[in-house]
Structure 1
């Protein structure tokens, strides 16, 4: 345990160094103007990375599968479908003119409501419905993507550009009031997840064994999924979807922590997710000269990790 805590402190130090590098490297122009802009973007990177890492560890514990991420149940598809529907009904100019904070709150509330309804409906009787929930999420995701693509064909090129911009994660248009809400949700959900860490350790043993040890497994699973819904909803509404970030953060967090205990793996995944995004943004802005997007980098390496995990499991 002491070794794990020391590793967490080292990972936090790495994140601090990367953050300082992002803030001050190649800073030009009026510092009073540039530094607050970088600080806002840095806060978005850290919050989204931490929220996604925690949500993925929780989801993988509930699903008893380390290849899955919350995006598998259709969060990303729902977000794209929502953006397409707004543009189709209101028009591109009207959507672009909506107050950013009100739009963020509305999207967050809708994503949380949809996720909670799905989890509550499918897990109302017992937590053995996790597999059915995942399969239903996959089917809903395919359906929503198909409907979104069909609706996008009805849009004018200028309106489609508005939808296309929302389909990829962007950290450059985040406002401070949105960050305050995201930080509050992350703090509350993160504290709740850490408080549940011992119960999550037992839940990870499987439903029969957990119930045999006296754990109310169904309740723990539902509470964990509620936290996943809150974390994924706020991070997706804040910057947009990043499918494979959670897989990278959770896998790296477990390797760094060297333990499956949630008291270590949860903060390790949060720090890993934040470090991945901050390091990726440094590469994106400083080394690639803005010639690519951060989401492309994350999805590329996340896809490679997913294939490696699948191949390793198949060999095993």
Structure 2
């Protein structure tokens, strides 16, 4: 390959990140300004709070999904497969089942957020220590057991939903879809702090994750402590997924969509490029999707429904493409 073409190929990932940053900035400005009317200061404050929540969730989902795909060496998996979404639904359902919908709506949002994060992190940590750290080093066994627990949580939640009062069930349904409309400012600041600390710590793993992406045997032969790197990565994934899910609710296919798009656009495996690109695509998707939802559909549906529909179609396309290789 000529030297000029090599230099262009090396610069492409960085240039693509710059392009994505410009597109993201445009989407953010559009979300904050399009259709703004009435009390401008008040309306802009609400939109800025929503936008801040999108940035927090987008960064958490992008980082956790990228790292999870790296340590599992599978591009069609996301942390949601470990049962986090089902556990979130189960927690919400059990609160309504035992205490009623009023208890869910009147509960201290900070206490509820902390409880949900702790339960999901503890579940992930116990599952990880029980399986991966002590009995086996096969990540696919860990993922399989996570799928089983997710199915269990979903089944128990479904049973409880059939037994609760119909009025309580209607109120419960509103809390099971991801929404950026009712994020508490205090919770947002706390969640942002957790995401910044987790991602800041995780940036140090990027060079090792670049090697882990080559496979366990290759990583070990190149001197990388594969077990320690995977352990630290899974802890970070658990924290980030728990925070984003507890803050706004589950968005199942967002991570799958943005990470694979980032890999295709940047054409690189290096995490210091893929993770920022994934985060930018995630924020753009959330901001543009919420803008369309509010200005076109009049908020007749939840943003997570649209993202899951598009992400589900993309997931099927990935499966078809992988099966034909």
TM bucket, shorter chain: over 0.9
SS of aligned partner of 1:89? helix
Count of aligned pairs = 316
Q: For 1:170-217, what per-residue CA distance to the aligned partner results, in whole angstroms no more than 9, with x for missing partners?
A: 110101111111111221222222221110011111111111111110
Map of 2:245 onto structure 1: 236
Q: Distance in 2 between matches of 1:112 and 1:142?
A: 18
Q: How does 1:62-101 map to 2 (within 5 A)?
A: 62-101=71-110
Which of 164, 185, 191 in structure 2 is aligned with 1:176? 185
The CA distance in 2 between the partners of 1:177 and 1:291, in whole Å, is 27
What 5-or-longer segments of structure 1 have no aligned partner?
A: none
- Give TM-score, length-normalised by structure 1: 0.97
Structure 2: 5+ residue runs without aligned partners? 1-9
1:243-287 C-alpha deviation (Å, 9 max, x unpaired): 100001111111222211111111111111111111111111112
Whether 1:136 and 2:159 are equivalent positions in the alignment is no
Partner SS for 1:153: helix
Counterpart of 2:138 in 1: which secondary structure?
A: helix
Q: CA deviation at 1:88?
A: 1.3
Map residues 161-240 of structure 1 onto 2, 5 A cutoff: 161-240=170-249
Under a length normalisation based on structure 2, what TM-score does the superposition of the two structures give?
A: 0.94
Deviations 1:22-67 (A, max 9, x none): 0011101111211111111111112111211111000000111000
Alpha-carbon displacement from aligned partner over 1:224-251 (angstroms, at most 9, x marks no partner): 0111001100000000001100001111
How far apart are residue 126 of structure 1 and its match? Answer: 7.5
Deviation larger for 176-185 or 117-126: 117-126
Tell me the distance in 2 between the aligned counterparts of 1:283 and 1:92: 30
Which portions of structure 1, spanning 4 or more consecutive aligned residues, are displaced by more than 6 angstroms?
none
- 1:20 partnered with 2:29: yes
Residue 297 of structure 2 corresponds to which residue in structure 1? 288
Structure 1: distance between partners of 2:316 and 2:76: 10
CA distance in 2, matches of 1:243, 1:23: 25
Residue 2 of structure 1, CA deviation: 3.7
In the alignment, the residues of structure 1 paired with residue 18 and residue 200 of structure 2 have an alpha-carbon distance, to the nearest angstrom, of 18
CA RMSD of superposed structures (Å): 1.3
Alignment of 1:255-266 (within 5 A): 255-266=264-275
Question: Which of 254, 274, 279 is the aligned partner of 2:288?
Answer: 279
Change (3 A) 1:127 1:180: farther
Instruction: After TM superposition, give the deviation of residue 293 of structure 1 in Å.
Output: 2.0
Instruction: Indicate yes or no: 2:51 matched with 1:42.
Output: yes
Per-residue deviation, 1:162: 2.7
Partner of 1:117: 126
CA separation in 2, counterparts of 1:116 and 1:234? 15
CA distance in structure 1 between the aligned counterparts of 2:88 and 2:80, rounded to whole angstroms: 11
SS in 2 for 1:289: coil
Match of 1:11 among 7, 20, 26: 20
Q: After TM superposition, give the deviation of residue 113 of structure 1 in Å.
A: 1.4
